[in-house]
């Protein structure tokens, strides 16, 4: 890790609070999932390639600093004199970095026209650099996607073990981006809904079930290589800037808490295919037991044909896996007395069209859970590999 001293006067900063910003892969993908999320999608509002690359350079410096617990610039909050707006908004002064990670991704619209947006201009001359799998996700049955919560040219996923640290990071990047980018939508998340290491206990989602048991984990390097990281041969030369990167699928999934809370325990367990208490697959005893989809009782499958874990299991999908990294959210109530709560689903994969798309098609068509959820936000981003020393976010994409 990086030395954990803080320029913000924090006394409680330890090197264990710092996640390395630079490396082979971006932090925030296999990093042990932190407790809090602030996810922001930006539209690029300039047509100038120079303005955009200048911002990406400035963002990189600020992000690198904030991940070490420093202000966006030295003395930014109060050191700039009384007559100028401070260069750092200051709400993280005195806080340690709390494992802040900032992960950047680029959306399909940055590369010009797509099948869904044929009018989109190739404003930055990136048309030939678009990886083939960076195409907007298709519509799935029962989707209720709201454009104001979807898509975007650039995303920043900020994760930390303190909401204020994550919000401070996104707020300051947005502030630095004035005139070049504008926030299209953002989502706060609390309570991770998956684990990415075997050392982490499995958390629970808003349905009260353990979530993340069968996730791909950071120490499963064969699975990461097969299902998460983009390979050199996955793309033609012009799109090889993605080698070592990954695609981020984001879905805002509203969960209808009130009808769920009126469903019997047995109905809830049938929907998921696992026991609510232990997280064990139905018919098994412990959380990490392998589900046996052949078990029956009086001729009926113990794990229903419509159970979430049967449909999302690799055996039902030709072996396909994803790295899930989602968060619970509650955005107040919906005006009708119902909680606007759910799961902000984030998954990383090597090829979203071959992994997420067939999985979501299977779930949307048959998953019993669909009675209790609606997908109302959707986005796909290409997250480049990690940065070498002095490299800036997007340098491999923009530099020829």
Give the x/- contact pattern for ligand L6N33NVT in 188-207, rule: CB under 6 A.
Answer: -----------------x-x
The span from the CA of 217 to the CA of 32, in Å, is 9
Binding mask 300-319 for ligand L6N33NVT (x = CB under 6 A): --------xx--xxx-----
Least distance between ligand L6N33NVT and beta carbon 364 (Å) = 9
Q: Residue 144 Cβ, how far from ligand L6N33NVT at the closest point, in Å? A: 14
Residues ≥6 apart with Cβ < 8 Å to 59: 104, 173, 176, 177, 392, 393
Report the residue from 212, 245, 283, 301 that binds ligand L6N33NVT according to the rule CB under 6 A.
212
The CB-of-356 to ligand L6N33NVT minimum distance in angstroms stands at: 6
- The CB-of-321 to ligand L6N33NVT minimum distance in angstroms stands at 7
Residue 359 in contact with ligand L6N33NVT, rule: CB under 6 A: yes
Please give the radius of gyration of the chain, using alpha carbons only, rounded to the nearest integer.
21
Report H helices in 17-92: 49-67
DSSP code of 281? B
Q: How far is the CB of 343 from ligand L6N33NVT (least distance, A)?
A: 4
Cα torsion through 186, 118, 106, 224, rounded to 10: 110
Closest CB 387 distance from ligand L6N33NVT, rounded Å? 29
For the chain, the residue count is 400
Residue closer to ligand L6N33NVT by CB (options 212, 377) is: 212
Cβ 143 vs Cβ 375: under 8 Å: yes
Contact pick of 360, 379, 396, 397 for ligand L6N33NVT (by CB under 6 A) = 360
For ligand L6N33NVT, the binding residue among 217, 251, 252, 396 (CB under 6 A) is 251
Q: Which residue has the tokens 């998954």?
A: 347
Q: Are strands 323-324 and 300-301 parallel, antiparallel or unpaired?
A: unpaired
CB 252 within 8 A of CB 375: yes
Residues paired with residue 190 on neighbouring β-strands, in sequence order: 36, 328
CA angle 108, 112, 113 (to 5 degrees): 90
Residue closer to ligand L6N33NVT, measured from CB, 136 or 391: 136
272 binds ligand L6N33NVT (CB under 6 A): yes
Compare residues 42 and 207 and give the one whose CB is closer to ligand L6N33NVT.
207
Are 250 and 378 within 8 A, CB to CB? yes
Looking at 36, 130, 274, 325, which residue binds ligand L6N33NVT (CB under 6 A)? 274
Q: What 8-state DSSP symbol labels residue 136?
A: P
Nearest to 359 by CA among 387, 394, 324, 326: 324
What are the residues binding ligand L6N33NVT (CB under 6 A)? 205, 207, 209-215, 251, 253, 255, 272, 274, 308-309, 312-314, 322, 342-343, 345, 356, 359-360, 363, 373
């Amino acid at each position: 890790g990086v030395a954990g001293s803080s320029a913000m006067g924090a006394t409680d900063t330890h090197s264990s609070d710092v996640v390395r910003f630079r490396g082979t892969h971006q932090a925030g993908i296999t990093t042990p999932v932190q407790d809090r999320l602030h996810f922001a999608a930006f539209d690029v509002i300039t047509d100038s390639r120079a303005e955009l690359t200048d911002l990406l350079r400035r963002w990189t410096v600020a992000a690198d600093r904030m991940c070490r617990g420093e202000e966006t610039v030295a003395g930014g909050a109060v050191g700039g004199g009384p007559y100028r707006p401070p260069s750092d908004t200051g709400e993280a002064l005195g806080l340690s970095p709390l494992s802040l990670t900032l992960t950047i991704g680029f959306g399909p619209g940055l590369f010009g026209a797509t099948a869904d947006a044929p009018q989109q201009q190739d404003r930055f001359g990136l048309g030939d650099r678009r990886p083939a799998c960076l195409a907007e996700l298709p519509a799935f049955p029962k989707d209720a996607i709201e454009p104001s919560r979807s898509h975007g040219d650039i995303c920043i996923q900020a994760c930390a073990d303190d909401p204020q640290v994550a919000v401070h990071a996104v707020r300051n990047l947005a502030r630095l981006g004035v005139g070049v980018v504008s926030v299209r939508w953002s989502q706060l998340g609390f309570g991770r809904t998956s684990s990415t290491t075997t050392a982490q206990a499995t958390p629970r989602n808003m349905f009260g079930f353990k979530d993340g048991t069968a996730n791909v984990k950071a120490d499963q390097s064969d699975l990461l290589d097969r299902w998460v990281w983009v390979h050199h041969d996955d793309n033609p030369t012009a799109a090889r800037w993605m080698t070592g990167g990954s695609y981020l699928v984001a879905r805002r999934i509203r969960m209808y808490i009130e009808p769920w809370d009126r469903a019997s325990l047995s109905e809830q367990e049938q929907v998921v295919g696992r026991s609510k208490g232990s997280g064990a697959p139905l018919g098994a005893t412990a959380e990490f037991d392998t589900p046996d989809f052949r078990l029956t009782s009086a001729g009926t499958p113990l794990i229903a044909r419509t159970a979430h874990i049967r449909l999302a299991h690799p055996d039902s999908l030709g072996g396909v896996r994803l790295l899930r990294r989602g968060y619970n959210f509650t955005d107040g109530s919906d005006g009708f007395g119902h909680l606007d709560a759910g799961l902000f689903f984030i998954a990383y994969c090597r090829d979203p069209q071959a992994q997420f798309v067939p999985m979501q098609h299977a779930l949307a068509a048959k998953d019993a859970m669909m009675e209790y959820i609606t997908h109302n936000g959707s986005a796909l981003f290409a997250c480049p590999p990690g940065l070498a020393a002095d490299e800036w976010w997007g340098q491999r994409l923009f530099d020829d």
